[in-house]
């Protein structure tokens, strides 16, 4: 038999062969693949990263256990997936590294959807929203404040925590207002309580707890939402198997009203910008 002449393999063909070899290596000799969802189901455990210093998303309860809105959501996810829940304490700086290092399966904690984060992790469909609003008082302000446009007045005194999302909005929409920048929320609310300031612009979910902690003030949140962000649950980049199951489960949790009821349980008010019920993902 005459041998056929050998032809050099093109770069495209070589890359295709390499990809195929990598796929076979991932699948293994038994024809099964070690997919992330398979690992969760095999271990019968869902590891959820939750930040307990972000009330009421995450808090320590009287038994020094992590509780809060995120913990209730994670418990329901695990229940519907028929696995146990393991809550892992994370902070804002290490929550994504924990996910990438396979120390947790999912991460919660007000994971606002951004392009920068989407480059390194995958998101589920939205769990909740965050809404930028105007917080003022029902009386006792320098001038009446009934709508956001009323803030653009040289007589209005605004107080803000440094670096928060309200500052750019004020610069663009209320440049005439007097603005005092402070370092933390307790000092900010004290200024409002004592009449040294009339209003502030911030994320509603960040100010719910401070509002409750300040007594003898009749607070007023203006109805208009200045801006909203979408918050999902984070999973490892490329982990479509677990993400898709979480998406279906979250849809059912929204449809049953579980998410809304849990939100009101911890925040005391309905979600300012509700998540639309959408079966597509």
pLDDT of residue 88: 97
pLDDT above 80: residue 8: no
Residue listed under structure tokens 């418990």: 75
Q: What is the mean pLDDT of the chain?
A: 88
Nearest to 81, CA basis, from 129, 137, 38: 38
Q: What is the CA radius of gyration of the chain?
A: 25
Which residues does 69 contact at the CB level (< 8 Å), separation at least 6? 56, 57, 58, 262, 263, 265, 266, 267
- Residue 92 CB-half CA count within 13 A: 6
Token pair in block for residue 111? 């994971």
**Secondary structure (3-state) at 157:** strand
262, 72 Cβ separation under 8 angstroms: yes
196, 179 Cβ separation under 8 angstroms: no
pLDDT, tens only, 94-136? 999 999 999 999 999 989 898 999 999 999 999 999 999 999 9
Which residues does 145 contact at the CB level (< 8 Å), separation at least 6? 134, 136, 151, 156, 198, 199, 222
pLDDT, tens only, 188-229? 999 999 999 999 999 998 888 888 888 789 999 999 999 999
Token pair in block for residue 48? 């959820």
pLDDT of residue 35: 66
In 147-274, at which residue ranges do the beta strands (DSSP E only) sit? 157-161, 178-182, 199-203, 219-221, 227-231, 234-236
End-to-end Cα, the chain, rounded Å: 57
Token pair in block for residue 81? 């997936």
Residue listed under structure tokens 């610069």: 171
Token pair in block for residue 261? 């009821």
């Amino acid at each position: 038999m005459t041998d056929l002449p050998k032809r050099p393999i093109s770069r495209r063909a070589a890359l295709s062969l390499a990809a195929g070899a990598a796929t076979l290596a991932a699948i293994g000799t038994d024809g099964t693949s070690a997919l992330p969802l398979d690992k969760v189901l095999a271990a019968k455990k869902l590891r959820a990263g939750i930040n307990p210093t972000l009330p009421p998303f995450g808090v320590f309860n009287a038994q020094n256990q992590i509780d809060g809105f995120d913990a209730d959501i994670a418990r329901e996810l695990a229940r519907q997936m028929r696995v146990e829940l393991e809550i892992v304490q994370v902070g804002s700086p290490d929550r994504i590294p924990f996910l990438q290092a396979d120390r947790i399966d999912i991460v919660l904690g007000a994971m606002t959807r951004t392009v920068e984060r989407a480059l390194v992790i995958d998101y589920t469909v939205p769990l909740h929203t965050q809404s930028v609003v105007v917080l003022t008082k029902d009386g006792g302000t320098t001038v009446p404040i009934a709508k956001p446009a009323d803030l653009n007045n040289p007589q209005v005194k605004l107080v803000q925590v440094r670096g928060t999302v309200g500052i750019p909005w004020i610069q663009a929409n209320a440049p005439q207002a007097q603005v005092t920048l402070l370092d933390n929320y307790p000092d900010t609310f004290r200024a409002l309580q004592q009449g040294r300031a009339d209003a502030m612009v911030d994320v509603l979910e960040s100010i719910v707890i401070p509002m409750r902690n300040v007594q003898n003030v009749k607070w007023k949140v203006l109805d208009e939402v200045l801006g909203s962000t979408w918050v999902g649950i984070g999973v490892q980049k490329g982990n479509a198997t677990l993400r898709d199951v979480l998406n279906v489960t979250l849809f059912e949790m929204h449809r049953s009203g579980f998410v809304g009821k849990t939100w009101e349980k911890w925040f005391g008010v309905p979600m300012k910008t509700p998540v639309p019920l959408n079966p597509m993902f």
